[in-house]
Structure 1
Amino acid sequence: MRIMLVDPRGETRPYDDALAAALVAKGNAVTLMASAPRVAQPPPPAGVDVRYVFYRLADRVPGRARKAARGLEHPFDLVALTPHLMRHRPDAIHVQWLPMGIVDRYWWRIVERMFRVPVVYTAHDALPNHPTPRRLRRSAANARAFRRVIVHSQHGRDALVGELGVDPGRVHMVPHGALTAYRDVEPVAPAVPDGVPLVVMLGLLRPYKGLDILLEAWPAVRLALPDACLLVAGRVLGDPEGAARLEAMAADGALGVTSDLRFTPTAEFVGSLLRADVVVLPYRRIDQSGVLFAALALGRPIVATRVGGFAEVVEQHGAGVVVPPADSAALAAALIELLRDPARRKEMAAASRAAADGPFSWGAIAAATERVYAR
């Protein structure tokens, strides 16, 4: 099968690369259409034809004007895919994101009819993480525009069908795969003390990810376990209050907090996960998280909130503990309990790795994705 994956802004490149590699391993020819990465990334997977066809002009524009330039260029870049479509005639097109909403929906409907090819859309966020009425209408329109929609959790499927009114016959649950490519990365250890219990929160720091809840919980953890340390690493996007509070706590040496508020290079990301005794995901809302599936792949115990599809992974597969969202006392109690119980953490670490190599393996994900293409 000839498959075209499309991720214009490269928003989920670890996912794209892993899915593409797994589809190639099953005998498919895969082309990934994306934009050139603006930060260091691992090399593209072997056997995948990666083409940087989006925003080649716009990404030369400096500063804040780049976003507007991308918006202007985007429709032209979509149309510029036509020669490739005519030459290669893919058997399936798999679209990961719709940066311009109505423009993308209209274009992919034209492509599906003109080339008589199934176009699949993955709703990585079944519901917007900042759910205003306008954003909910856009999410509904995006999902309704496609005959085949993939979501990564039963929660996501229920949301599309029950809240956004998408035809249930069009929505298919295919789990996010464990990001096992990180196992091959040479790790760089974080700058934290050796031999102390370490809790780690990684990734882009947005308000819905609950950094403030973690910071509220941490003094209780530190009181119960005076040598415990907390590492929070990632670039801040839209959460200046949380970042300021984190920096203030990091400046207080008595709290054992380390902050690293920048884009985390892959080697450091992996090194921080491998050093973690517990990976914490204190989110207020989400469907699924790439950090969760990186932690799963590297066999780490997880404490997550009961939001989106987290419990479907963490709780059902024994990979960690799930607590109520926005409950700092419950979060603190779970962290204290796990940090005090190395035997239980060892069991959870083994369960994480087993889940990554079993139901969340990319072989299983690719097979399920192929079935959606063929429907």
Structure 2
Amino acid sequence: MQLSTAPPPRVLHITQPVDGGVARVVTDLVRAQLADGTHVTVACPGESLLADSLRALGAEVRHWQATRAPGPRLPQEVRRLGRVVARARPDVVHAHSAKAGLATRLAVRGRVPTVFQPHAWSFEAVGGVAAGFALGWERWGARWASLVVCVSEAERATGLRAGVRAQWRVIPNGVDPVRFHPAAVDCVRAALPLLGDVGADPAAPLVVCVGRLCRQKGQDVLLEAWSSVRRRMPGARLVLVGDGPDAERLRAGAPGDVLFAGAALDAVPWYQAADLVVLPSRWEGMALAPLEAMACGRPVVMTDVDGARESLPPGLVARCLVPARAPGPLAEAICGLLSDPSLRESLGHQGRRHVVTTHDVRRATDAVAEVYRELLRDGQARHAGPATCGDHTECRESSHT
């Protein structure tokens, strides 16, 4: 959906994460916006695969060095970002994730229409005093966001319950069903050298978990559950695809037959090779990995965190959802599906149909384009003065609720 403004609008995306789901969402948005003729700039850590891939798409990439968590360097990071914003001269700023949302709103302070997309709330990622600070900031900083975009209704509800008062829009995550597609398991497994290197039985049940190796994604819970799975299904194999801060600790505590595949530039073959894809997250907004797995025709087991129920076809919820942080129910669900090939096949077909009809990435990128159009129209109305829209604040709030 084109923004239909002349000259083309200038959009600035800001992200600190350069891997995982945030990077994929940013890449999908940039690709679609460039195709529509939008002038796109991205501020992110410059020495990264994300920066390289965005430049290859044709985006202007501005180096913004920032740590993942707030710290003593924050004032300097905010000043650097302010200079990036001044040079980019955007019509709309779109900040992705907690750190970019913090720095962006401090740097811009509402002077430019600002979209904040949490990709899961910051106060869920920490505990104790840090959680209190994160929550206080999200409540305060909401005043400097023209719109908060949540990837699930559950994520929005979490923000509301926490006292975040904002203009909201829910735009569910989407994936490309052309890129993520089913393939013959045997052929895909034969082409994955890592499976051959460890002597894995090509016919053995294969469970795959794709995600950053960190506390959020819950691989430690999966490894705890896996000991029970191994006792009941000795031939089953587990592959963890990804890298992250918990990699060393997880490797040290994992059974010897668990395969750590490392970061994958393309996770599609791993989804296609799996009999079952598992994501045992502690918190999410709406995880991409289950959508990608379902697009590849593979059944999923996931924890009942924000976005999980909304990402599944209604008929799959009872089979595919388990409580978070609960190794026992997770092991039970994995064993139940591994022991029933016909059910796995049926769930895979249902999941693929659901993603194609409900979570195609084009729906998400079109919805974001419409958000920008509304913000640009609102900006024009404010510039035109009170005669254009009476009490503009009242008009604006009613249009977004």
Q: How does 1:1-375 map to 2 (within 5 A)?
A: 1=3, 2-11=9-18, 12-25=22-35, 27-35=36-44, 38-40=47-49, 44=53, 49-55=58-64, 72=76, 74-85=78-89, 90=91, 92-97=92-97, 99=99, 103-112=103-112, 118-126=113-121, 127-131=123-127, 132-167=131-166, 170-180=167-177, 182-183=179-180, 189=192, 191-192=194-195, 193=200, 194-238=202-246, 241-246=249-254, 249-250=255-256, 256-260=257-261, 262=262, 264-267=263-266, 269-314=267-312, 316=314, 318=316, 321-375=320-374
1:345 deviation in Å?
Answer: 1.4
1:190 deviation in Å?
Answer: 5.5
2:194 aligned counterpart, secondary structure: coil
Alignment check: 8 A CA contact 2:135 2:162 kept: no
1:78 deviation in Å?
Answer: 2.8
Deviation larger for 314-323 or 157-166: 314-323
In 1, Cα distance between the equivalents of 2:295 and 2:10?
26
In 2, Cα distance between the equivalents of 1:40 and 1:182?
19
Alignment check: 8 A CA contact 1:54 1:74 kept: no
Give the direction of change, closer, same or farther, for the CA distance of 1:39–1:120 in structure 2 (3 Å limit): closer
1:370 deviation in Å?
Answer: 2.7
Alignment check: 8 A CA contact 1:197 1:339 kept: yes
Give the counterpart letter for 1:35 in structure 2: C
Give the direction of change, closer, same or farther, for the CA distance of 1:50–1:166 in structure 2 (3 Å limit): same
Q: Which runs of 5+ in 2 are unaligned?
A: 4-8, 375-401
In 2, Cα distance between the equivalents of 1:329 and 1:200?
18
In 2, Cα distance between the equivalents of 1:107 and 1:71?
9
1:358 deviation in Å?
Answer: 1.9
1:95-148 CA-to-partner distances (Å, cap 9, x unmatched) read 224536654213222532xxxxx3211121134322421222233333342121
1:39 deviation in Å?
Answer: 4.7
1:121 aligned counterpart, secondary structure: strand
1:213-256 CA-to-partner distances (Å, cap 9, x unmatched) read 2122212222222211111232242475444211xx12xxxxx4
In 2, Cα distance between the equivalents of 1:149 and 1:160?
10
Give the number of equivalent residue pairs.
Answer: 345
1:292-346 CA-to-partner distances (Å, cap 9, x unmatched) read 3332332321100111111211353738600112222211111111112222212
Give the counterpart letter for 2:314 in structure 1: Q
Deviation larger for 323-332 or 95-104: 95-104
1:354 aligned counterpart, secondary structure: helix
Deviation larger for 326-335 or 151-160: 326-335
Give the counterpart letter for 1:22 in structure 2: A
1:183 deviation in Å?
Answer: 3.6
In 2, Cα distance between the equivalents of 1:190 and 1:3?
44
1:180 deviation in Å?
Answer: 4.5
Give the direction of change, closer, same or farther, for the CA distance of 1:74–1:296 in structure 2 (3 Å limit): farther
1:356 deviation in Å?
Answer: 2.5
Match of 1:115 in 2: none
1:341-367 CA-to-partner distances (Å, cap 9, x unmatched) read 222212222222223222111221122
1:205 deviation in Å?
Answer: 1.4
Alignment check: 8 A CA contact 1:8 1:54 kept: no
> Where is the helix percentage greater, Structure 1 or Structure 2?
2
In 1, Cα distance between the equivalents of 2:40 and 2:104?
19
Q: Which runs of 5+ in 1 are unaligned?
A: 113-117, 251-255
In 2, Cα distance between the equivalents of 1:266 and 1:144?
38
1:248-292 CA-to-partner distances (Å, cap 9, x unmatched) read x12xxxxx42234x4x1313x332222111111112222222323
1:165 aligned counterpart, secondary structure: coil
Instruction: Give the TM-score, by structure 1 length.
Output: 0.80
Alignment check: 8 A CA contact 1:279 1:301 kept: yes
In 1, Cα distance between the equivalents of 2:284 and 2:207?
21
In 2, Cα distance between the equivalents of 1:22 and 1:14?
12
Give the counterpart letter for 1:360 in structure 2: H
Alignment check: 8 A CA contact 1:34 1:52 kept: yes
Alignment check: 8 A CA contact 1:31 1:48 kept: no
1:53 aligned counterpart, secondary structure: strand
In 2, Cα distance between the equivalents of 1:285 and 1:162?
15
Percent identical pairs in the alignment equals 22
